[in-house]
Structure 1
Amino acid sequence: MAAPAPSAIAGRRATMKPTLPSLWALSAMALPLAFVSLPLYVLLPNRYAAQMGVSLASIGALLLAVRALDAVLDPWLGQQCDRWFARGTAHVWRISLGLSLALTLGFTGLWMPDVWLALMGLQPTANAVLLAAAPCLVLAYLAATGLNLTLQTWGTRLGGSAVQRSRITAWREGLGLAGVVLASVLPTVLEAHWLVSVFAVLMAIALWLWARAANFAPHTHSGEVNAPAPHAHSELSITASSVHAVTGSWLGPLRQTKFRALLQVFLLNGIASAIPATLVMFFIQDLLQAPAGSEALYLGAYFLAAAVSLPLWLRVVQGVGLARAWLVGQALSVAVFMWAVSLGAGDLWGFAAICVLSGAALGADLVVPGALLTGVIQRSGDSGQAEGAYLGWWQVATKLNLALAAGLALPLLQMFGYSAGTRSEAGLWALSVAYGVLPCVLKLLAIWRLWAARVELWEKPHGE
């Protein structure tokens, strides 16, 4: 009997409605994975410099080098992820177990390098700490990337309508936001060994929930949509075309017009969001001249507003569709953020309002792009076959956003006379323009590109 076509499988999978416990179980891994994202970049350099005597230039160079290696390997890891899913849910869970152990080991080494060095009979000098951190950082980043690709591939393979796809994405991004906030706060109130313990517990809970979520895993054997739990040793069967997709070129997704168009919008929009993230501390301290400690309050308000807005954006998607909802969010972001250039010293409440409203606009950036990507994969005929390959390139773009933002904004600021701590009028004006105007220009370009790509990306209302 002939195997069902991938499109038929995707259609049957689309009828599946994830329950609340299933969404919790599938998305739980996003919370501990957030500990290895922005908080690591913000808090680890300070810990190494202040407590262990490592120079900021050295730890910065290490972070950059390891992140570059991580980004280069993303497409390959994405292709490996497709192979893991092709071998079945049990295999995915076993790989995830190994990656989780590797991540926990690397994370422990990063936060407690003095302990590792003491066990080896070495003194925790600055150079020794840096050398000990390097392999731990590589291990942590690569394991986290593998787990993150598995998390996103799992959700993407569930497919479904625009509302269902955006709901799955919103849960994943919402728990990721909670993880960012938690990972930003805990290191300031807990000793390193307690922080590592909390992280290990969160990883164990997420892994246990993934084992339970296997009962809701995408399954392509004989058209069934529910795979048994890992201990049942069920395997995913794939058609010949699926084998070709899994073992084919990792450049395959870039040959898809729809994916290239979406990737362009995602990059423009992402760089526009990453520039303020790169400059926000300078803006608060030097331009607003806010009291010490205000940074945490502003960032907390921003992320909280984003989290609270997620259900609202799901309603917007249900009403107008994915692409139009993203356009609304981008337009709101520009309408709000353009006022940042008018702020000066002491305009603390005005900036608080911008943080809350732009945080609400961020909700659209969290909900829509991933759901649109799932739709692109479905319409390209690669659903259930090559999600990991697409997501590998998606991860490259995500990491490029931060790198390009820093590479674009910081040299321009220096060129126009800004340096940290300056009070010169020219320097502060350059900071204000880079923080408030440049992101709006890039957002407008993203809006134009999304509108220009409406033939490739906009789904028909009944399809959404």
Structure 2
Amino acid sequence: MSQARALSMPQIVSYGALGLPLAFAALPIYVHVPKLYADDLGLSLTVVGAILLGARVVDAVTDPLFGWLGDHVASRLRWIVLALPLLAVGMFGLLSPPGDAGPLWLLCLLVLACAGYSMASVNYHAWGAEMAGGPGERTRVMASREGFGLVGVVMAAALPGFLADDIAPGLQRLAWGFIPLLGIAALITLWGAPQAGASAPARERPWVALRRALARPAFVRLLILFGLGGIAASIPASTVLFFVEDVIGRPDASGPLLAVYFVAGAAGLPVWVKLSDRLGKVGAWMVAMIVAIVAFVWAAMLGPGDLMAFGVICALSGLALGADLALPPAILADQLGERGGAGEGAGAGSSFGWWNLVAKASLALAAGLALPLLDLFGYTPGRDGEAGRLALALVYAALPVLLKLFALGLTWHWRHQLGAKS
């Protein structure tokens, strides 16, 4: 249920704080883990990509179920409190593997970390949608959460290189720092944000409520667009370290370049909030897609030594990322608000359960598609060669451009059907 009174800025900021460690946890899984387990532990890129994809098969069940549980069994805050220790243990084991860790270790720790992440983030996202009282306030609540999230991703991107010269010890130290960071942010959010509403008694079985959420055409269209955009953004995230090393030829610059990408995303959030007030959320999102397309077309043309040009591309694509993070969930919150918060029987938790599933499936599909494609094209990490650079250019840049163009066309076609307030 939405709050009767407008939220204060301290409440909005307090709510956003938990977004920092949740985003902090997500980045190493899809950016650093493939390189850690392939380079340092000797797993093939195909095996790593398949495990990332397989872990999401488990999420196909757990994410929507966690959403239904948050709607109907105990409060959202209790589920978040239960989830955070699972996330902490899973992340620590994933980023600090023993020297003989193999595919089974990677799979088990991924499942544990993802279960904790799912349980926390589904209920956290639904809580934000329920606490905001109008379209403008929803955009600001989502922007607060995603702004903190981008700060978390910047920290996760920059700290491994700052903490150690090699990725393995850097990630191990990162894992130690993640636990207190998670605890502090959780305390700020759980004490400072408006309390989440009580769960509603379950009147139907979980799969009936979850199916009801998918009965809304506007929601399904938004899920499709969100998924396409997520895959397009996640393919570069899964391959950027390889691109910086073997195309640009500056592996030492990977940390600063990632920081530029995510800082640009955070800095651009106020721009997208203002632009959505003028063009609507859907119109602003389409502008962001065009910015991303231009950036990745340029990236496909780069070669060794083009560090400054790639820095500009990171800033442009990061700017577009801010819109991808803040605007789609705000559109979903508007859809739920138009239906009194329940979506004709589908609670916010059920809707964000599907949402979280699509978000993580997009990440997994990106890794499961991009890494085997690089293998298929004959790319070997750390080896120079024109064929390898061409493979990276096709996978890192050209594939996201095609996906973004498709998403842009669908968004234009569905622009009047995604929500009256968007």
TM-score, normalised by the number of residues in structure 1: 0.78
Equivalent-residue separation in structure 2 for 1:168 and 1:381 (angstroms): 18
Would you say the 8 A contact 2:76–2:196 is kept in 1? no
SS in structure 1 of the partner of residue 300 of structure 2: helix
- Are residues 179 and 402 of structure 1, via their aligned partners in 2, closer, same or farther at CA, if it must alter by over 3 Å? same
Aligned match for 1:201, one of 145, 163, 180: 180
Deviation by residue 1:312-333 (Cα, 9 ceiling, x = unmatched): 1111112221111101111122
Aligned AA (2:247): L
The 5-angstrom pairing of residues 309-320 of structure 1 reads: 309-320=268-279
In the alignment, what sits opposite 1:56? 43
- Are residues 302 and 259 of structure 1, via their aligned partners in 2, closer, same or farther at CA, if it must alter by over 3 Å? same
Query: Is the aligned partner of 1:104 residue 2:88?
Result: yes
Task: Give how far 1:422 is off.
Answer: 5.1
Would you say the 8 A contact 2:275–2:284 is kept in 1? yes
The 5-angstrom pairing of residues 129-208 of structure 1 reads: 136-188=109-161, 189=163, 195=174, 198-208=177-187
Task: Give how far 1:17 is off.
Answer: 2.4
- Are residues 288 and 373 of structure 1, via their aligned partners in 2, closer, same or farther at CA, if it must alter by over 3 Å? same
Structure 1, unmatched stretches of 5+, are: 1-8, 115-124, 220-234
SS in structure 1 of the partner of residue 238 of structure 2: helix
The 5-angstrom pairing of residues 84-99 of structure 1 reads: 84=73, 87=74, 91-99=75-83
Choose 130-139 or 297-306, whichever is displaced more.
Answer: 130-139
Equivalent-residue separation in structure 1 for 2:234 and 2:313 (angstroms): 16
Would you say the 8 A contact 1:323–1:458 is kept in 2? no
Structure 2, unmatched stretches of 5+, are: none
- Are residues 183 and 292 of structure 1, via their aligned partners in 2, closer, same or farther at CA, if it must alter by over 3 Å? closer
Task: Give how far 1:374 is off.
Answer: 1.0
- Are residues 382 and 274 of structure 1, via their aligned partners in 2, closer, same or farther at CA, if it must alter by over 3 Å? same
Deviation by residue 1:130-162 (Cα, 9 ceiling, x = unmatched): 767765543332112101111101001124333
TM-score, normalised by the number of residues in structure 2: 0.85
- Sequence identity, in percent? 36
Would you say the 8 A contact 1:162–1:317 is kept in 2? no
RMSD over aligned Cα atoms: 3.2
Aligned AA (2:144): W
Would you say the 8 A contact 1:259–1:373 is kept in 2? yes
- Are residues 299 and 254 of structure 1, via their aligned partners in 2, closer, same or farther at CA, if it must alter by over 3 Å? same
Would you say the 8 A contact 1:256–1:380 is kept in 2? no
Equivalent-residue separation in structure 2 for 1:174 and 1:165 (angstroms): 14
Query: Is the aligned partner of 1:352 residue 2:311?
Result: yes
- Are residues 162 and 423 of structure 1, via their aligned partners in 2, closer, same or farther at CA, if it must alter by over 3 Å? same
Aligned AA (2:78): R
Would you say the 8 A contact 1:30–1:175 is kept in 2? yes
Task: Give how far 1:388 is off.
Answer: 1.1
Equivalent pairs, count:
412
Deviation by residue 1:184-236 (Cα, 9 ceiling, x = unmatched): 3444527788655533322322332233245x2354xxxxxxxxxxxxxxx56
Would you say the 8 A contact 1:413–1:434 is kept in 2? yes
Task: Give how far 1:336 is off.
Answer: 2.8
Would you say the 8 A contact 1:71–1:399 is kept in 2? no
- Are residues 358 and 95 of structure 1, via their aligned partners in 2, closer, same or farther at CA, if it must alter by over 3 Å? closer
Equivalent-residue separation in structure 2 for 1:280 and 1:113 (angstroms): 23
Query: Is the aligned partner of 1:21 residue 2:10?
Result: yes
Task: Give how far 1:427 is off.
Answer: 4.3
In the alignment, what sits opposite 1:389? 350
State the structure with more CA Rg.
1
Query: Is the aligned partner of 1:441 residue 2:402?
Result: yes
In the alignment, what sits opposite 1:126? 100
Equivalent-residue separation in structure 1 for 2:402 and 2:35 (angstroms): 33
Deviation by residue 1:384-404 (Cα, 9 ceiling, x = unmatched): 861111111111211221232
Aligned AA (1:207): A
Equivalent-residue separation in structure 2 for 1:96 and 1:286 (angstroms): 41
Choose 405-414 or 392-401, whichever is displaced more.
Answer: 405-414
SS in structure 2 of the partner of residue 16 of structure 1: coil
Would you say the 8 A contact 2:218–2:419 is kept in 1? no
Query: Is the aligned partner of 1:211 residue 2:172?
Result: no
Equivalent-residue separation in structure 1 for 2:383 and 2:152 (angstroms): 34
Query: Is the aligned partner of 1:268 residue 2:228?
Result: yes
In the alignment, what sits opposite 1:335? 294
Would you say the 8 A contact 1:71–1:395 is kept in 2? no
Task: Give how far 1:309 is off.
Answer: 0.7
Would you say the 8 A contact 1:163–1:317 is kept in 2? no
Deviation by residue 1:59-85 (Cα, 9 ceiling, x = unmatched): 76655543432343211111112124x
SS in structure 2 of the partner of residue 342 of structure 1: coil
Aligned match for 2:246, one of 271, 277, 286: 286
Would you say the 8 A contact 1:157–1:383 is kept in 2? no
- Are residues 66 and 441 of structure 1, via their aligned partners in 2, closer, same or farther at CA, if it must alter by over 3 Å? closer
Deviation by residue 1:217-273 (Cα, 9 ceiling, x = unmatched): 354xxxxxxxxxxxxxxx56x5x8x84597843222222100111111112222221
